[in-house]
């Protein structure tokens, strides 16, 4: 995979990535995207700050979302509030041109987590959740 267009990702996701000015995936993105598109599995990957780790895991998540599924399809955990919000912002940017509605909820603290669980039980259609 030399460019995002070679990745096998949905064209609307590629359009979102390219709208941000990115054309070629970083090494961590190449390895992660290829792996996650081939296998539905967990991933543990290490790379320095600024290497594109958020895109490395979130682009395959977006690619695999099923608009007919009416429950949470992805949960992302982040160690800090700031990273939680940054991940949510990045994923929104990548999903900008997708036909599938992507609902992101950045949850910080136990009050919001309790509220979120109540909303899931009510049947809220949330596609991805970012926890701190």
What average pLDDT does the segment 90-119 reach?
74
Average pLDDT of the chain? 82
Are 12 and 93 a contacting pair, CB within 8 Å? no
CA atoms of 4 and 129, how far apart (whole Å): 25
Q: Does position 128 have pLDDT exceeding 70, yes or no?
A: no
pLDDT of amino acid 60: 95
CB-based burial label for 79 (10 Å; 0-12, 13-18, 19+): exposed
pLDDT (0 to 100) of residue 115: 66
What pLDDT was estimated at residue 112? 62
Tell me the domain boundaries of the chain. 4-131
% of the chain with per-residue pLDDT over 70: 76
9-55 tens-digit pLDDT: 999 999 999 999 999 999 999 999 999 999 888 888 889 989 999 99
Residue 62 pLDDT grade (very low, low, confident, very high; cuts 50, 70, 90): very high
Higher pLDDT, 121 or 94: 94
Question: What is the structure's pLDDT at 72?
Answer: 76
State the pTM of this model: 0.80
Q: Are the beta carbons of 75 and 128 closer than 8 angstroms?
A: yes
Residues 6+ away with beta carbon under 8 Å from 3: 23, 24, 25
- In this structure, what token pair is assigned to residue 57? 């895991």
The reported pLDDT for the residue numbered 81 is 78
User: What is the CATH topology of the domain spanning 4-131?
Assistant: Rossmann fold (3.40.50)
């Amino acid at each position: 995979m030399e460019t995002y267009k070679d990745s096998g990702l949905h064209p609307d996701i590629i359009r979102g990535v390219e709208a941000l000015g990115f054309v070629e995936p970083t090494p961590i993105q190449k390895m992660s995207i290829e792996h996650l598109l081939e296998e539905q599995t967990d991933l543990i990957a290490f790379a320095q700050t600024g290497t594109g780790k958020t895109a490395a895991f979130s682009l395959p998540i977006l690619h695999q979302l099923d608009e007919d599924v009416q429950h949470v399809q992805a949960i992302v955990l982040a160690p800090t509030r700031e990273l939680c919000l940054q991940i949510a912002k990045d994923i929104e940017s990548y999903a900008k041109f997708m036909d599938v509605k992507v609902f992101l909820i950045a949850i910080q603290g136990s009050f919001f987590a309790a509220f979120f669980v109540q909303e899931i039980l009510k049947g809220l259609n949330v596609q991805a959740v970012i926890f701190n």
